[in-house]
Structure 1
């Protein structure tokens, strides 16, 4: 049996990569930690739109955080090590690990990653697509 997909219309050609991206997003973890915001900032000239992802990473140091891009995915990982030297009377703040991923469209560029006051802000640039049209010559076969 053939699998019917969203992009199986004969009028949608070359959308295989988008379909794979949608599959990756649907398989992503639904864990709500750490919480995050996504906002659009004022455009910076020719760069196009600037998008900022802000994650609440209170208690993590710069050395415990990792931001990378793998296969068009922005991956943010945090690793805290449990301090065995401390004796807790109450432990309400757990040392934990996390991984948060965002699927990036083709052409998205990471501008910066800044850690301040327990918030990790990652700025991304989304370039404006060029609107171009061109005429295709029709060859006549003899």
Structure 2
């Protein structure tokens, strides 16, 4: 049984949304292999977001954050410590990689690791060229100013 949605009819009336349709199709096909570490995504303001990842046991040097065009990759890798023989390991220390698809113009502005919680702050920065702007409309020029009159050729006068 296929649960894929056909977005072809939308292509007739939209321009440039094919990437969004592809993301929706791919999200429906992929099921995450694991759900570790747990994370939250929050919208903190109109154009600000926060991703919080539970990374207990990981230090600043164990985690890397990479932003490519529309992709944020958070990876954690911890080296095995051989300073003790563990009788029980309850704190997870396995490597992880989380990928987040980002919308256009989303930038990482800050990342902090505090009390085992990694916070990544994001902001949507729309370039000035992309922001709505008012276009002035000029009156058509007829070659005559608003206070000038145009003389139509008069018949020649005899002297």
TM-score band w.r.t. shorter chain:
0.7 to 0.9
The alpha-carbon distance between structure 1 residues 12 and 6, as it changes in their structure 2 partners (threshold 3 A), is same
Match of 1:41 among 29, 36, 44: 44
Q: What TM-score do the two structures reach when normalised by structure 1?
A: 0.74
Structure 1 contact 25–103 (Cα < 8 Å) conserved: no
The alpha-carbon distance between structure 1 residues 93 and 37, as it changes in their structure 2 partners (threshold 3 A), is same
Q: Which runs of 5+ in 2 are unaligned?
A: 137-159
Structure 1 contact 41–52 (Cα < 8 Å) conserved: yes
| Distance in 2, Cα, partners of 1:24 & 1:114 | 31
Q: What TM-score do the two structures reach when normalised by structure 2?
A: 0.67
When the two chains are superposed, the root-mean-square deviation of aligned CA atoms in Å is 2.7
Larger Rg: 2
Structure 1 contact 53–122 (Cα < 8 Å) conserved: yes
Cα drift, residue 95 of structure 1: 2.3
The alpha-carbon distance between structure 1 residues 102 and 4, as it changes in their structure 2 partners (threshold 3 A), is closer
Per-residue CA deviation, residues 86-105 of structure 1 (Å, 9 max, x unaligned), is 21122233420111111100
Q: Where in structure 2 are the equivalents of 1:61-80 lying within 5 Å?
A: 61-80=59-78
Q: Which runs of 5+ in 1 are unaligned?
A: 44-48, 136-142
| Distance in 2, Cα, partners of 1:28 & 1:108 | 25
Higher strand share: 1
Matched residue count = 128
